[in-house]
C-alpha cells in the first residue's frame, strides 16, 4: 500500500517515521522549507521508546504524479485549506483519507473537496513536539492511531488499511464507532484546551486556585452537552476520564494549544473551540465558558496572525 503522509510535523512525522522504519511505502508531502531541512538532516525522532532517524521520501505539491492508496492527513487545523489543495492530485477514486485532526470541521471540508467516499474517521493519541533542531520529540509513550468508516460498517478497504498499519511500532486499531470516539476526544480537548488557554496555566495550577476545578468541570459539561445534542452522548467512562484529567491536583498537563500559545504560535481556536461554540449556538445549548474561551483565543490569534 502506497501511503502519503500530509505533513511531517509532530504527528505526521512521528507516525510516518514509524511506518517507514517498519519498511512501509511512505512518502511525506511537505512544504519546500521543511523539505530542505529534512533532506539536510533526515527525519529524527527522540522517543522514550528509543531514538531513531530515517531518510524520508519527500514530495512537494507540484511533484505528485499519481494517486496514493491512503493519505494520512496530519496538519494543524489552520493549515487545512492549503493542505487540501496541495494533496488533491494524490486523491483518486480508490484513495482512503485518514485525518488525525481534532474536532469535526475538517470532515465537512474534506467532503466538500473530495466527496464523502474517500473520507474515513480518524483519531490519534500521541504527545509530540518539534524542538529547535526540527527533531520530533515524543513526550510520553502513548501512541495509537484509530480509523474506520464513518457509518460504523466493516469494509474491505478498512481491513486492507488495518493490515498495512500493523506491526509498525504503534497501536493501530480499526473502529466500528469512530465518530463516537472523535466526538469524545473533541469534548476532552475542547475542555483541556479551553481551560488551560483561558486561565493560562497547567491543570495543576488551575486546580490549585479556588474555583479552578469547578470551572474545568463546567467547561466539560458544556462540551459534553453539545456532543449529546449532536447525537453523540459521551459514554460515562469517557466523561470520567476527561473529568479526572482536567481536575487532577498537581498535574503538569497542558494542551498543545496552550503550548502553542505560550510559544507565540497560531492556535487551533476556530477548529476546536469556535466550531464547538457554533454548534452549541445552532442547537440551543448554553455554553458561556466556551464563548469566553473563544473570544479570549480570538484576540490572541488576531495579534499573532494579524487577521
Our CA dihedral for 261, 262, 264, 269, rounded to 10 degrees, sits at 0
The residue with cell 509498525 is: 168
**Is 87 in a helix, a strand, or coil?**
helix
pLDDT at 307: 52
CA distance 245 to 17: 29
Strand-pairing partners, residue 98, are 72
Q: What is the Cα 107 distance to its own chain's centre?
A: 12
CATH number among 3.10.180.10, 1.10.12.10, 3.30.590.10, 3.40.50.720, domain 2-176: 3.40.50.720
pLDDT at 141: 85
Secondary structure string (H, E, C) spanning 110-175: HHHHHCCCCECEEEEEEEEEECCCCCEEEEEEEEEEEEECCCCCCCHHHHHHHHHHCCCCCEEEEC
Enter the C-alpha cell of residue 119.
473520507
Contact 139, 14 (CB under 8 A): no
**Which residues does the chain have with pLDDT short of 50?**
none
**DSSP at 61:** G
CA distance 106 to 83: 11
Nearest residue to 179 via CA among 252, 108, 250? 108
pLDDT at 297: 96
103 to 97, 128, 157, 211, 304: CA distances (angstroms):
16, 19, 24, 27, 22
Domain ranges of the chain: 2-176, 180-305
What dotted CATH number matches 180-305? 1.10.1040.10
Amino acid at each position: 500500500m502506497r501511503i502519503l503522509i500530509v505533513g511531517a510535523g509532530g504527528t505526521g512525522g512521528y507516525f510516518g517515521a514509524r511506518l517507514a522504519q517498519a519498511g512501509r511505502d511512505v512518502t511525506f508531502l511537505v512544504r519546500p522549507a521543511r523539505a530542505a531541512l529534512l533532506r539536510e538532516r533526515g527525519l529524527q525522532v527522540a522517543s522514550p521508546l528509543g531514538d531513531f532517524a530515517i531518510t524520508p521520501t519527500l514530495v512537494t505539491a507540484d511533484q505528485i504524479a499519481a494517486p496514493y492508496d491512503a493519505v494520512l492527513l496530519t496538519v494543524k487545523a489552520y493549515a487545512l485549506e492549503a493542505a487540501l489543495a496541495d494533496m488533491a492530485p494524490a486523491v483518486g477514486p480508490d484513495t482512503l483519507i485518514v485525518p488525525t485532526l481534532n474536532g469535526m470541521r475538517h470532515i465537512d471540508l474534506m467532503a466538500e473537496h473530495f466527496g464523502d467516499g474517500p473520507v474515513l474517521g480518524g483519531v490519534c493519541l500521541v504527545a509530540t513536539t518539534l524542538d529547535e533542531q526540527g527533531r520530533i520529540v515524543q513526550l510520553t509513550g502513548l501512541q495509537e492511531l484509530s480509523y474506520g468508516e464513518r457509518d460504523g460498517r466493516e469494509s474491505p478497504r478498512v481491513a486492507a488499511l488495518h493490515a498495512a498499519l500493523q506491526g509498525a511500532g504503534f497501536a493501530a486499531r480499526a473502529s466500528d464507532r469512530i465518530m463516537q470516539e472523535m466526538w469524545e476526544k473533541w469534548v476532552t480537548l475542547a475542555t483541556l484546551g479551553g481551560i488551560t488557554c483561558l486561565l493560562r496555566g497547567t491543570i495543576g495550577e488551575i486546580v490549585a486556585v479556588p474555583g479552578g476545578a469547578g470551572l474545568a468541570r463546567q467547561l466539560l459539561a458544556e462540551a459534553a452537552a453539545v456532543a449529546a445534542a449532536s447525537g453523540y452522548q459521551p459514554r460515562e467512562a469517557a466523561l470520567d476520564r476527561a473529568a479526572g484529567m482536567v481536575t487532577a491536583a498537581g498535574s503538569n498537563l497542558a494542551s498543545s494549544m496552550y503550548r502553542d500559545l505560550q510559544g507565540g504560535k497560531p492556535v487551533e481556536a476556530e477548529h476546536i473551540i469556535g466550531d464547538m461554540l457554533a454548534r452549541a449556538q445552532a442547537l440551543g445549548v448554553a455554553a458561556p465558558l466556551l464563548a469566553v474561551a473563544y473570544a479570549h483565543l480570538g484576540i490572541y490569534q488576531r495579534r499573532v496572525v494579524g487577521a
